[in-house]
Structure 1
């Protein structure tokens, strides 16, 4: 199963958080949002199709995230979790830890926003930049 989310860049994107990656439907971003890699997303956790949510809630689900911006692509692997609620109406967060909250889409991810290629981050600091966040669950 595969699902794509579109998002935009923002001048305050820093992408230097060591434990999470976040995209948000919000258009405003302060420099403190150091895990956020995209704003203006067309989906948040609550908006995802139910069949995708059901797969994300399985602890044996292996999830691959692809972040594509311009000629750059960044891949993250994570796991599903039975306690995911997927109810947040603005945000999606993927985490290296096991922490679960309404914004959490995946846990035990192998990378966080600090590992995004700096060339990709530079592109994302332009509000005109568009990106795609692809969720693939096997």
Structure 2
């Protein structure tokens, strides 16, 4: 079965630090303080609440795999994890990828294979540019 796919845009920010060891996050907010060390993209076109109902259904299936692909200026970073029937996928502004199994309304996937700290320095420099256009691609499959 082909994975369901949803693509949307975000942008970079000078305060992107990308040092968090267990999470990675995107937000629709346009401001980022230096405390947000897991946030890798701002001004995202979508929060979890805005995702297509079909991809939400796929993410909530038992045994589903979820992938987030981050693309900018020819560089790609991919993180893979798992969906869960308990995910609400309801937060209006945030999407959080977690290495742990913790679930809240901001969680997109759990037991992910990477976090913000795993993004290489060259890509982090790109994500720090305010004019940086970022494509975010979510895929879900069984």
Once the 2 structures are TM-superposed, how far is the Cα of residue 63 of structure 1 from its aligned partner?
1.4
Query: Following the alignment from structure 1 to structure 2, what is the Cα–Cα distance between the partners of residues 95 and 5?
Result: 20
Q: Which of the residues 47, 51, 58 maps onto 1:48?
A: 51
Q: Which of the residues 54, 77, 81 maps onto 1:78?
A: 81
2:32 match: 29
Q: Which of the residues 93, 116, 126 maps onto 1:113?
A: 116
Aligned length, in residue pairs: 138
Unaligned stretches of 5+ residues in structure 1: none
Q: Which runs of 4+ in 1 moved over 2 A?
A: none
Once the 2 structures are TM-superposed, how far is the Cα of residue 117 of structure 1 from its aligned partner?
1.2
Give per-residue Cα distances to partners, 1:8-51, cap 9 Å, x unaligned. 00010000100111000000100000000000000000001111
TM-score normalised to structure 1 length: 0.97
TM-score normalised to structure 2 length: 0.95
1:78-97 matched pairs, under 5 angstroms: 78-97=81-100
Unaligned stretches of 5+ residues in structure 2: none
**C-alpha contact 1:59 1:79 (8 A) present in aligned 2:** no
Query: Following the alignment from structure 2 to structure 1, what is the Cα–Cα distance between the partners of residues 85 and 78?
Result: 23
